[in-house]
Structure 1
Amino acid sequence: MKQIFVLAIVALTFASCQQTTVKIDPPIVDSTTSNGATMAPASPDAPILTFEKTTYDFGKIKQGEKVHYDFIFKNTGKTPLIISNATASCGCTVPEPPKDPIQPGAESVIKVIFDSTGKSGIQDKVITVTSNGNPSINEVHLTGEVLAPAQ
């Protein structure tokens, strides 16, 4: 009886020491936009949003002045480009993207207005552009310095 008991313990010990292979699933990639829509991977024929300049330095301005700038871009892809959203890093910067699709080879602009009221010092305002292009998210920057009024 002792031998059976010892054999059972030995068998359990060997069974518990067996290595098991754990299958790890690939990471889940979140392809959801900020408005909840799911985006498919870009096709080789996807539109490509190519900016003429991705940064505009407005230099030094006085507090309260407004800066207007047009970010010029071109659709260098093979299908129409649709800009679904353009947002700025703060409420003092307002982007205005085109509403109509931009055909392959065509140019358009994203108009941006920065209001420096209440701002001072070095500024870097980021405008995030979401489209059906490849990549689907692009960033452009308005940079410069706002001079505070003399006290």
Structure 2
Amino acid sequence: MKKLALFMVMVLVVFAAQAQEQQTGPVLTLKEKSIDFGDLTQGDKVEHTFVFQNTGTTPLIISNVAVTCGCTATQWPKEPIAPGKSSELKISFNSAGKMGKQNSVVRIYSNASEPIEKVSLISNVLPKGK
């Protein structure tokens, strides 16, 4: 009886592991989730390109990319990203009118299994020299 119970538990573990491995649908996988530009002088403009891949099984569609302020602008692919393919999200930050520590959060909305991903642009804005 103990052998049968042990066998049943092992079968359940194997089925559970296989079910987790067979996740279907699009999956947005970012190579990095933040970039730190360090010290910037007020008025500096910087940009960074975040690379991501669709590690899922169906096309990934980014429906919107939302920024926290007008100091941040984005460019993202409007066409579906096929499974296994990579693409880019370009984000620019304008430090004009900013001062001190900045953490611009950008939200990526898609049809992925996690429908909202976030990336951050971090900097420390210093006053202009005279």
Q: Would you call these one fold, judging by a TM-score over 0.5?
A: yes
SS at match of 2:56: coil
Normalising to structure 1: TM-score of the pair? Answer: 0.69
Which 4+ stretches in 1 moved above 2 angstroms?
none
RMSD over equivalenced CA pairs, Å: 1.0
Higher relative contact order (CA 8 A, sep 6+): 2
Say whether 1:55 aligns with 2:34: yes
Query: How big is the shift at 1:150?
Result: 4.0
Greater percentage in strand: 2
Greater percentage in helix: 2
Determine which structure has more spread, i.e. the larger CA radius of gyration: 1
Structure 1 residue aligned with 2:109: 130
Structure 1 residue aligned with 2:20: none
Provide structure 2 residue ranges, at least 5 long, that are not aligned to the other structure: 1-22
String of CA shifts for 1:67-112, please: whole Å, max 9, x gaps.
Answer: 1100110000000000000011111001111111111011101000
Code of the residue aligned with 1:81 in structure 2: it is L
Provide structure 1 residue ranges, at least 5 long, that are not aligned to the other structure: 1-43
Q: 1:144 & 1:118 partners in 2: Cα distance?
A: 14
Code of the residue aligned with 1:132 in structure 2: it is N
Q: State the percentage of identical aligned residues.
A: 44
String of CA shifts for 1:15-61, please: whole Å, max 9, x gaps.
Answer: xxxxxxxxxxxxxxxxxxxxxxxxxxxxx411000000001101111
Say whether 1:101 aligns with 2:84: no
Q: 2:108 & 2:43 partners in 1: Cα distance?
A: 26
